[in-house]
């Protein structure tokens, strides 16, 4: 791992070495999800074509079905039937709200995402990584290997935070990229309307994917610690300012609404068999991994 370049912002060598102790837990998780022989649809060569799907940036242009294009004037990719391999898809929210916190929520979320990518790489399995806000941003197609992992870290290090979060739109876009039953990990603060989250979660889960949602919140954001009296509150995604008085009653009502929002997300996850975890960015990263992996 000496070949890391410009990675201090998210992970370091010690972080990776510490993660090695989780490898056996990940392997157990993988076996439980993918046990048994299955057949899936994925891109391949010298195998019978099963159907077609819409072309998406990053796809191999050699697999474009030009005859279909001549009839429809739309780009489609040929899909083939072959034995399924494990693919983990990691989506990290890069909306403007993820900039909040002494430890930016995005930096913490990116560390979790990079950690999962490292663990999957250690198992010589494939992972894909993408960032999203109001639409998909940077997209890395599924691959395996240390070079792919290093490229993912560099992508996270160079990500700009902008826009609002719209999981419903991004889930619709990303579902066209997933080519077989996969483990999908979404890391976000999930501070958006429940209707958008509901639609997005069902869209991903509908493809029979094993789904994990990890909510990252700043401790001050969760409990309003140290915030009281006459206060100006700013919406980081819209720059809207609201002046209000933070009283004990306000804090209690705020926490009730936030807990109800998280509870509603968990209910949707329970309905589709997905896992939901809520973590504050002051939680040691290894404790976060233990909670997620041990209870998955």
Q: Please, what is the average pLDDT of the chain? A: 80
Secondary-structure class of domain 13-35+85-294 per CATH = alpha beta
- Name the helix (H) or strand (E) containing 119: helix 105-122
pLDDT of residue 5: 38
Each residue of 126-146: pLDDT tens digit?
999 999 999 999 999 999 999
Does the pTM exceed 0.75?
yes
Residue 83: per-residue pLDDT = 37
Give the model's pLDDT for residue 24.
62
Half-sphere CA count of 10, side-chain side, radius 13 A: 28
Where residue 266 falls among pLDDT bands split at 50, 70, 90? very high
pLDDT digits (tens, 9 = 90+) for 53-74: 677 666 667 778 888 778 888 8
Give the per-residue pLDDT at 217.
Answer: 96
Higher pLDDT, 225 or 199: 199
Q: Can you tell me the distance from the alpha carbon of 59 to that of 77, in angstroms, rounded to the nearest whole number?
A: 8
pLDDT, tens only, 90-126: 999 999 999 998 899 999 999 999 988 988 888 788 9
Q: How far is CA 190 from the centre of its chain?
A: 11
Is pLDDT at 176 greater than 80 in this prediction?
yes
Within 13 Å, how many C-alpha atoms sit on residue 93's CB side?
Answer: 32
- Measured in degrees and rounded to the nearest 5, phi and psi for residue 279 equal -130, 140
Which of residues 52 and 132 earns the better pLDDT score? 132
Q: β-strand 229-234 against 210-217: which pairing, if any? A: unpaired
Which one has a higher pLDDT value, 269 or 3?
A: 269
Region 206-212: what's the mean pLDDT? 79
Which pLDDT value is given to residue 208?
A: 59
Q: pLDDT above 90 covers what percent of the chain?
A: 42
Nearest to 51 by CA among 83, 80, 85, 82: 80
Please tell me which of 31-45, 62-76, 243-257, 275-289 the model is most confident about, judged by mean pLDDT: 275-289
Angle subtended by helix axes 248-272 and 194-205, to nearest 10: 20
Tokens 């019978």 found at: 48
Residues of the chain with CATH 3.40.50.410: 13-35+85-294
Banded pLDDT at 84 (limits 50, 70, 90): very low
Structure tokens at 31: 């076996």
Looking at residue 52, its pLDDT comes to 66
- Averaged over 34-45, what is the pLDDT? 39
Q: Residue 104 — φ and ψ, nearest 5°?
A: -55, 135
User: pLDDT band for position 34 (50/70/90)?
Assistant: very low
């Amino acid at each position: 791992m000496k070949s890391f370049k410009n990675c201090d912002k998210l992970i370091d060598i010690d972080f990776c070495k510490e993660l090695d102790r989780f490898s056996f837990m990940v392997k157990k998780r993988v076996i439980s999800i993918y046990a048994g022989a299955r057949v899936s649809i994925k891109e391949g060569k010298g195998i019978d074509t099963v159907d077609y799907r819409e072309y998406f940036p990053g796809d191999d242009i050699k697999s474009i079905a030009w005859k279909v294009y001549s009839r429809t004037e739309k780009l489609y990719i040929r899909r083939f039937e072959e034995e399924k391999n494990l693919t983990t898809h990691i989506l990290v929210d890069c909306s403007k709200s993820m900039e909040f916190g002494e430890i930016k929520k995005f930096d913490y979320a990116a560390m979790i995402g990079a950690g999962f990518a490292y663990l999957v790489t250690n198992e010589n399995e494939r992972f894909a990584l993408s960032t999203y806000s109001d639409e998909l941003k940077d997209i890395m197609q599924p691959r395996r290997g240390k070079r792919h992992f290093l490229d993912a870290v560099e992508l996270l290090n160079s990500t700009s935070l902008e826009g609002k979060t719209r999981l419903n739109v991004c889930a619709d876009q990303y579902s066209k990229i997933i080519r077989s039953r996969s483990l999908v990990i979404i890391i976000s603060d999930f501070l958006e309307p429940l209707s958008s989250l509901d639609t997005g979660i069902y869209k991903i889960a509908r493809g029979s994917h094993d789904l994990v949602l990890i909510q990252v919140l700043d401790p001050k954001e969760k409990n309003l610690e140290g915030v009281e009296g006459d206060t100006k509150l700013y919406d980081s995604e819209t720059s809207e300012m609201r002046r209000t008085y933070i009283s004990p009653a306000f804090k209690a009502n705020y926490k009730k609404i936030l807990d109800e929002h998280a509870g509603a997300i968990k209910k949707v996850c329970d309905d589709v068999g997905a896992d939901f975890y809520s973590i504050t960015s002051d939680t040691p990263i290894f404790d976060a991994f233990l909670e997620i992996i041990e209870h998955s």
